[in-house]
Structure 1
């Protein structure tokens, strides 16, 4: 254990994060299958990736605590709910046998529904990674491009490895941040909220 009670681990790199995420067989399957749909700017993102890192550091299975698997894509050619719903249904059909919740979101549409759901403004985005950039907690801004398999991590990986939960300055929502950070700390008590 480190000085904060955090488990020690070798340095987290883009390659090691991808390897840890893919040690969850559902992530590996999703990357394989989603590529076949050719969704524009498609990324597997959020907890299914970064929680594998925290789970490895605490000796848990890579999928422990994963509530759902987030898939972001960006298609501004049709901003209707019907178009997004067709993609959601296609992904559900493609992944039904995995028996996990897969949450699909067209990042080109988020600004249309966000205020009604979360009582906060949300700008119109211009690409998938804009959505990843706006996670509440800075270290959780990670995604893997389903086509190139490249890691997107605009805030680096140091705080993710060290378990530092800091409010993302790109989307400062103090109350929502506190709730999200506390929910992570309940599952991984060694995480520190700053």
Structure 2
């Protein structure tokens, strides 16, 4: 059951929203237990919570995946990512875990190397999805939002500057937005 909020207007509101969601904190604790460098749980995990809340949904929208990212230039194997996913499945079975080392993802995306996980998040396709949360060592919830939170709380879909300024990437963004069809789930979302 989702707690009802009429407004999410600030980073503080967003953090409180997630802090009060027991399931989300359990997911974050599972990811934290891997002790990955520069890790975040990002994208739809955060965006969907905000949009569900702003739409007044009483049940959580299902997630295609739970994106756990980290930055480790010392071990760039996909095999390592799959082993980490297995560990998360053992901790919280039945969830669609996806673990990706951002130190290697620039190659798949045909981009210049990223310098950190937050740098990678800044290069996600949409500003409303360029978000991540994690727990620090003291258990404090942290947010990374390199493109800000205005678009996600205004339910506006637009490309990140990285995608907007590259014709090839903009075409990928446009196809992705069409394929995702977020308005079918969240009718207040606009482009």
TM-score, reference length from structure 2: 0.82
CA distance in 2, matches of 1:63, 1:106: 27
Name structure 2 gaps, 5 residues minimum. none
- The offset of 1:14, in angstroms, is 1.6
Superposition deviation, residue 37 in structure 1 = 1.6
1:107-135 alpha-carbon deviations (Å, 9 max, x no partner): 111134x15xxxxx222212111221111
Gaps of 5+ in 1: 1-7, 116-120
Aligned residue in 2 for 1:105: 100
- What are the Cα deviations for residues 138-183 of structure 1, in whole angstroms up to 9, with x where unaligned? 1221111332521111222222111111111113422332233342
Match among 152, 176, 182 for residue 184 of structure 1: 182
Q: Which residue of structure 2 lines up, in the alignment, with residue 61 of structure 1?
A: 58
RMSD: 2.1
Q: How many residues align?
A: 178
Structure 1 residues 13, 74: CA separation in 2 closer, same or farther (over 3 Å shift)? same
> 1:72 aligns to what SS in structure 2?
strand
Q: Give the match for residue 150 of structure 2.
A: 158
Q: Which residue, 141, 144, 147 being the options, matches 2:130?
A: 141
